[in-house]
């Protein structure tokens, strides 16, 4: 096992790339990338960094030169032979050759496109522009780099024994969570913590701890590199990025209203089984379900990623029942702002009513709350979202208005088209 504290002390973070592989990313990114490569390869997009926690002044904490070095290193990466072999030959969700030869040939030749970086009011303006399949692969590594550089800025002044004690306390904190989770019957839990992790080494340690501590209750990780290295299942389906871009490309209100279902139709043509999981909240869960085509109710399950998770799950159960489907056979994945208490509550409420599963993110891989002065390592909400497609602005409404993205006039239009009225604001934890 790697001594993380000693690594931090010895290296002083010099010549220490944060992202060392193109598959140090979430599995859903690769699945979506193949879908985009097939369906909309020439769409021009822009992704942009968004810091929802403005009190964290990233540009004051993170040295611009260090950030550029890390981003430049990522641009030098290409798919290694062993990584390509894993993607081409491994079984994912029960299917061999999930990734086509055409897509793999393209991916093996890929280098990530240029980035644009500048400072403004204590924050970094970081954007990526180009064709959709290329640019989308920047999101996860860019977030990982910024989160880790912020952590390095805090840790840089700590001495060796301080670091040893910090990581010992962090490990103890996570292990205590694992001990509580052990007692939850029928638990199914996966690591979803790549994008806002403390560091790669810490995520890798957390996954090992979960594997040993939870056994079969731990079902895998979203991180492809860790899944490959630890012989675990790579977990993930699709994300808000797909309906956001499909919707931006829509030429009329009618086409806009249909766009989220066009996403599902394209996905249906490619995938089956546990990969057929609906993500309904991009423009409001209830409206999505109310207008969903009958065939979508036959999908395996749904992911609840914003708003009140109890309300979202209950809405899904009612919808399945109205469509003549048995909710007890359906999969519900909770993935928003989870920690042990919420996981326990949701498991108790819905066990036996649906097949419950959890994608545990930031508070698994980056929970150092209360362990350093001024809580300087507490996680914060940093995202990298698509902001336009073919020159048209993108919009995300979410079930939590505090997560909404897009120009005010377009947000109003989308609310009108999708029938989204008053929403309940909730704190954005991460």
pLDDT level of residue 358 (50, 70, 90 thresholds): very high
Q: What is the pLDDT of residue 38?
A: 96
Q: What is the pLDDT of residue 12?
A: 55
pLDDT level of residue 146 (50, 70, 90 thresholds): very high
Pick the CATH number of 4-157+378-396+405-412 from 3.90.420.10, 1.10.540.10, 3.10.580.10, 3.20.140.10: 3.20.140.10
**pLDDT tens-digit series, residues 274-319:** 999 999 999 999 999 999 999 999 999 999 999 999 999 999 999 9
Confidence (pTM): 0.95
Q: What is the pLDDT of residue 404?
A: 86
Of 43 and 156, which is predicted with more confidence? 43
Q: What is the pLDDT of residue 428?
A: 63
Q: What is the pLDDT of residue 382?
A: 93
User: CA–CA separation, 23 vs 229, rounded Å?
Assistant: 11
User: CA–CA separation, 219 vs 200, rounded Å?
Assistant: 19
Q: Determine the topology of domain 165-365 in CATH.
A: nicotinate phosphoribosyltransferase (3.20.140)
Percent of the chain's residues with pLDDT above 70: 96
Q: Where are the domains of the chain?
A: 4-157+378-396+405-412, 165-365
pLDDT level of residue 19 (50, 70, 90 thresholds): very high
User: CA–CA separation, 228 vs 240, rounded Å?
Assistant: 25
- State the number of CA atoms in the 13 A half-sphere of 393 facing the CB: 12
**pLDDT tens-digit series, residues 160-203:** 999 999 999 999 999 999 999 999 999 999 999 999 999 999 99
User: CA–CA separation, 302 vs 191, rounded Å?
Assistant: 17
Asked whether the domain spanning 165-365 has the same topology as the one spanning 4-157+378-396+405-412, the reply is yes
**pLDDT tens-digit series, residues 108-130:** 999 999 999 999 999 999 999 99
- HEC profile of the chain: CCCHHHHHHHHCCCCCCCCCCCCCCEHHHHHHHHHHHHHCCCCEEEEEEEECCCCCCHHHHCCHHHHHHHHHHHHCCCCCHHHHHHHHHCEECCEECCCCHHHHHHHHCCCCCCEEEEEECCEEEEEEEEEHHHHHHHHHHHHHHHHHHHHHHHHCCCCHHHHHHHHHHHHHHHHHHHHHHHCCCCCCEEECCCCCCCCHHHHHHHHHHHHHHHHHHEEEECEHHHHHHHCCCECCCCCCHHHHHHHHCCCCHHHHHHHHHHHHHHHHHHCCHHHCEECCHHHCHHHHHHCCCHHHHHCCEEEECCCCHHHHHHHHHHHHHHCCCCHHHCEEEECCCCCHHHHHHHHHHHECCEEEEEEECHHHHCCCCCCCHHHCCCCCCEEEEEEEECCEECCECCCCHHHCECCHHHHHHHHHHHCCCCCCCCCCCC
Q: Which of 366, 360, 330 is nearest to 343 (CA)?
A: 360
User: CA–CA separation, 365 vs 173, rounded Å?
Assistant: 11
Q: What is the mean pLDDT of the chain?
A: 95
Q: What is the pLDDT of residue 398?
A: 87
User: CA–CA separation, 333 vs 354, rounded Å?
Assistant: 10
Percent of the chain's residues with pLDDT above 90: 91
Q: What is the pLDDT of residue 189?
A: 98
Of 10 and 71, which is predicted with more confidence? 71
Q: Is the pLDDT of residue 25 over 70?
A: yes
Count other Cβ atoms within 10 Å, centred on residue 283. 26
Contact 357, 217 (CB under 8 A): no
User: CA–CA separation, 58 vs 123, rounded Å?
Assistant: 5
Q: What is the pLDDT of residue 429?
A: 59
Average pLDDT over residues 322-336: 98
**pLDDT tens-digit series, residues 217-272:** 999 999 999 999 999 999 999 999 999 999 999 999 999 999 999 999 999 999 99
pLDDT level of residue 11 (50, 70, 90 thresholds): low
User: CA–CA separation, 384 vs 58, rounded Å?
Assistant: 14
User: CA–CA separation, 205 vs 209, rounded Å?
Assistant: 6
pLDDT level of residue 10 (50, 70, 90 thresholds): low
Q: Is the pLDDT of residue 155 over 70?
A: yes
**pLDDT tens-digit series, residues 235-248:** 999 999 999 999 99
Q: What is the pLDDT of residue 319?
A: 98
- Burial state string for 328-353 with b = 16 or more CB within 10 A and e = fewer than 16: eebbbbbbbbbebebbeebbeebeee
Q: What is the pLDDT of residue 308?
A: 94
pLDDT level of residue 411 (50, 70, 90 thresholds): very high
pLDDT level of residue 402 (50, 70, 90 thresholds): confident
Q: What is the pLDDT of residue 430?
A: 58
């Amino acid at each position: 096992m790697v001594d993380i504290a000693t690594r931090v002390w010895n290296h002083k973070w010099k010549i220490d790339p944060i992202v060392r592989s193109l598959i140090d990313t979430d599995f859903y990114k690769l699945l979506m990338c193949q879908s985009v490569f097939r369906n909309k390869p020439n769409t021009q997009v822009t992704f942009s960094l968004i810091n929802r926690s403005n009190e964290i002044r990233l540009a004051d904490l993170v040295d611009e030169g260090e950030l550029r070095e890390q981003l430049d290193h990522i641009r030098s990466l290409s798919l290694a032979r062993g990584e390509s072999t894993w993607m081409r030959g491994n079984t994912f969700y029960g299917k061999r050759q999930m990734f086509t030869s055409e897509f793999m040939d393209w991916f093996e030749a890929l280098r990530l496109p240029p980035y644009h970086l500048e400072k403004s009011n204590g924050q970094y303006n970081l954007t990526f522009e180009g064709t959709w399949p290329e640019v989308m692969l920047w999101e996860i590594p860019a977030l990982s780099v910024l989160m880790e550089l912020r952590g390095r800025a805090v840790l840089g002044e700590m001495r060796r024994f301080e670091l040893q004690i910090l990581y010992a306390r962090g490990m103890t904190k996570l292990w205590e969570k694992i001990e509580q989770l052990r007692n939850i019957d029928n638990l199914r839990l996966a690591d979803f913590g790549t994008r806002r992790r403390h560091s790669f080494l810490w995520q890798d340690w957390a996954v090992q701890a979960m594997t040993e501590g939870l056994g079969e209750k731990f079902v895998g990780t979203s991180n492809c590199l860790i899944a490959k290295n630890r012989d675990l299942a790579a977990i993930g389906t699709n994300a808000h990025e797909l309906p956001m871009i499909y919707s931006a490309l829509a030429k009329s209100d009618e086409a806009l209203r249909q766009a989220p279902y066009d996403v599902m139709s394209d996905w249906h043509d490619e995938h089956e089984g546990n990969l057929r999981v609906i993500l309904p909240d991009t423009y409001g869960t209830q409206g999505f379900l109310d207008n969903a085509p009958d065939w979508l109710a036959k999908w395996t399950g749904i992911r609840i990623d914003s708003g009140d998770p109890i309300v979202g799950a209950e809405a899904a159960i009612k919808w399945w029942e109205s469509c003549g489907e048995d909710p007890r056979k359906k999969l519900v994945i909770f993935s928003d702002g989870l920690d042990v208490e919420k996981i326990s509550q949701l498991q108790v409420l819905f066990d036996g009513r649906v097949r419950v599963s959890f994608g545990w993110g930031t508070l698994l891989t980056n929970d150092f709350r209360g362990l350093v002065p001024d809580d300087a390592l507490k996680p914060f909400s940093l995202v990298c979202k698509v902001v336009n497609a073919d020159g048209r602005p993108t919009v995300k409404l979410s079930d939590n208005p505090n997560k909404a993205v897009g120009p005010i006039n377009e947000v109003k239009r989308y609310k009108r088209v999708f029938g989204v009225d008053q929403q309940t604001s909730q704190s954005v934890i991460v």
